[in-house]
Amino acid sequence: MFNSYLEEIKTYEAGKPIELVVREFGIEAKDVVKLASNENPYGCSPRVIEAIQKGASRASLYPDDSMYELKEALSDRFGVGSENIIIGAGSDQVLEFISHVKLNQNAKILRSAVTFAMYDIYAKQFGAKIVITPSFKHKADEFIEKIESENPDIIYICTPNNPTGDATKREDIFAIIEAAPKESLVVVDCAYMEYVESDAYRVTPKDFLAYENVIYLGTFSKAFGLGGMRVGYGIANRSIIDVLYKVRPPFNITTLSLLAAIEASKDIDFVKRSVAGNREEMLRYEAFANEHALEYIPSQTNFITYFLGEKNNSSQIAANLMKQGVIIRDLASYGLNAVRITIGTAEQNSRLFEVLANELV
Ligand SMILES: *Cc1c(COP(=O)(O)O)cnc(C)c1O
């Protein structure tokens, strides 16, 4: 009755919500520590909260569908034109637009061995084939080999990568882009780029504007702290953006989301403070790993992935932590005996270390 290729899809398993822990384990919401979805533990800019409160009565009005002001803010921030920008309900929606314009049952996507789960889900929605590089690091030579042998329609570079936390060097990103045929679209998913410190790894949308087959994706959900508002963007050569607009529904973000993202764009200092807090707390996560002989990949994001070794089971540990009100992300579904933990506030992290230390054998 339905498209047969949809049978391949395992629905996306989102990080467990606080409400679930409250319901199932009777823990009060204020005592739940949620470190599972890479949200900003410092919340969002106070200016955003004020703006949403002041703007609440506009809930009855459709948003400005041109999203003029938000595009102006992004074009100032990145030095690109408004015509180079498309806004989505999260960058997830931009991924969906991209899939609409590139994929069908004869198409292929290429991705690294362990990366953002939505790439596969969108590919499967269109019956496309998924081609995977051998390594979970993004290795340029592996990508280039698969590009040559498989001729993929979309090539995903997730940098820094979720759920491993490592980033891809600029030179490797460009090596992959240069190897991509004109007909394949290279998607550079930069959901965590605000956390990257090293120039060798940092890319900006402007780097890719000259290419007619590369799109940069960014989001307000992570460093800007607006996960609940659902605002992301794609920035690319106009030839790409114009096509994506054909599949965008009108009013695809809400009036209050639009207002929130505009206001958040004016408070880059909030992002800087969040990144600085993250960096400081990351050192504690590295120290904890060393102390407990856990392997980890140095992270350029607001999360860290711990590999648990033979004695500990990631699903068991995540389940046991949840019973104590601490939510982390089990990576068993990625084929890893590992957990991904969002770097929280100092207090949240202390609680995590306490309960995790008790569980580790
Ligand atoms: C969080 C995330 C996104 C998208 O988040 P939205 O909330 O939809 O903007 C995209 N890619 C990666 C790798 C992410 O981790």
Task: Please give the residue range of the domain that contains residue 128.
Answer: 46-267
Which H or E run contains 147? helix 140-150
Tell me, what CATH number does 39's domain have?
3.90.1150.10
**9 and 126 in one domain?**
no
What confidence tier does 11 reach under pLDDT thresholds 50, 70, 90?
confident
Neighbours of 273 (CB within 10 A): 13
Rounded average pLDDT over 32-52: 97
Q: Where are the beta strands (DSSP E) in 171-296?
A: 185-189, 214-219, 232-236, 295-296
Rounded average pLDDT over 225-252: 98
**299 and 314 in one domain?**
yes
pLDDT recorded at residue 350: 98
What are 141-164's pLDDT values in tens digits?
999 999 999 999 999 999 999 999
What confidence tier does 296 reach under pLDDT thresholds 50, 70, 90?
very high
**107 and 15 in one domain?**
no
**276 and 316 in one domain?**
yes
Distance, in Å, from the CA atom of 353 to the CA atom of 334, rounded to the nearest integer, reads 24
CA 1 to ligand 1 centroid distance, Å: 32
Which residue has 């580790």 as its token pair? 360
Q: Which of 213, 238, 267 is the last residue of a domain?
A: 267
What are 64-83's pLDDT values in tens digits?
999 999 999 999 999 999 99
CA 193 to ligand 1 centroid distance, Å: 11
- Ligand 1 pocket member 88 (CB < 6 A): no
Which of 229, 215, 307 lies closest to 262 in space, CA to CA?
Answer: 229
Q: Which atom of ligand 1 is nearest to the CA of 89?
A: 8
| DSSP letters for 297-321 | ---SSSEEEEE-TTT--HHHHHHHH
**202 and 77 in one domain?**
yes
What are 170-198's pLDDT values in tens digits?
999 999 999 999 999 999 999 999 999 99
pLDDT recorded at residue 38: 97
Q: Which of 267, 289, 305 is the last residue of a domain?
A: 267
Residue 357 confidence (pLDDT) above 90: yes
Give me the phi and psi of 135, to 5 degrees please: -95, 155
Which residue has 């569908």 as its token pair? 65
**66 and 118 in one domain?**
yes
Distance, in Å, from the CA atom of 3 to the CA atom of 281, rounded to the nearest integer, reads 47
Q: Which atom of ligand 1 is nearest to the CA of 231?
A: 9
What confidence tier does 225 reach under pLDDT thresholds 50, 70, 90?
very high
Q: What are the residues whose beta carbons fall under 8 Å from the beta carbon of 307, sequence distance 6 or more?
A: 294, 295, 296, 336, 337, 338
- The residues that bridge with 327 in the sheet, in sequence order, are 34
**62 and 152 in one domain?**
yes
- Ligand 1 pocket member 116 (CB < 6 A): yes
Rounded average pLDDT over 211-234: 98
Q: Which atom of ligand 1 is nearest to the CA of 115?
A: 13
Average pLDDT over the chain, rounded to an integer: 96
Residue 343 confidence (pLDDT) above 90: yes
Residue 13 confidence (pLDDT) above 80: no
Q: Which atom of ligand 1 is nearest to the CA of 91?
A: 9
Neighbours of 77 (CB within 10 A): 13
pLDDT recorded at residue 17: 86
User: Which of 166, 219, 254, 340 to mutate for ligand 1's pocket (most ligand atoms within 8 Å of CB)?
Assistant: 219
Selected residue with higher pLDDT from 37 and 8: 37
**316 and 283 in one domain?**
yes
User: Which of 162, 196, 230, 342 to mutate for ligand 1's pocket (most ligand atoms within 8 Å of CB)?
Assistant: 162
pLDDT recorded at residue 16: 80
Which H or E run contains 184? none
Residues in the chain: 361
Which residue has 């410092």 as its token pair? 42
Output the six-digit token pair for 243: 């096509």
Tell me, what CATH number does 55's domain have?
3.40.640.10
What are 88-100's pLDDT values in tens digits?
999 999 999 999 9
Distance, in Å, from the CA atom of 103 to the CA atom of 81, rounded to the nearest integer, reads 27
**Which of these ranges, 12-21, 110-119, 307-316, has the smallest mean pLDDT?**
12-21
**226 and 93 in one domain?**
yes
pLDDT recorded at residue 208: 98
What are 255-278's pLDDT values in tens digits?
999 999 999 999 999 999 999 999
**230 and 182 in one domain?**
yes
Output the six-digit token pair for 219: 């989001």
Which of 336, 352, 357 lies closest to 165 in space, CA to CA?
Answer: 336
pLDDT recorded at residue 211: 98
- Ligand 1 pocket member 184 (CB < 6 A): no
Q: Which of 267, 283, 300 is the last residue of a domain?
A: 267
Residue whose Cα lies nearest atom 7 of ligand 1: it is 90
- CA torsion sign, 189 to 238 to 74 to 227? negative
**280 and 163 in one domain?**
no
Q: Which atom of ligand 1 is nearest to the CA of 230?
A: 7
What confidence tier does 10 reach under pLDDT thresholds 50, 70, 90?
confident
Count the domains in the chain.
Answer: 2
**56 and 36 in one domain?**
no
Rounded average pLDDT over 311-338: 96
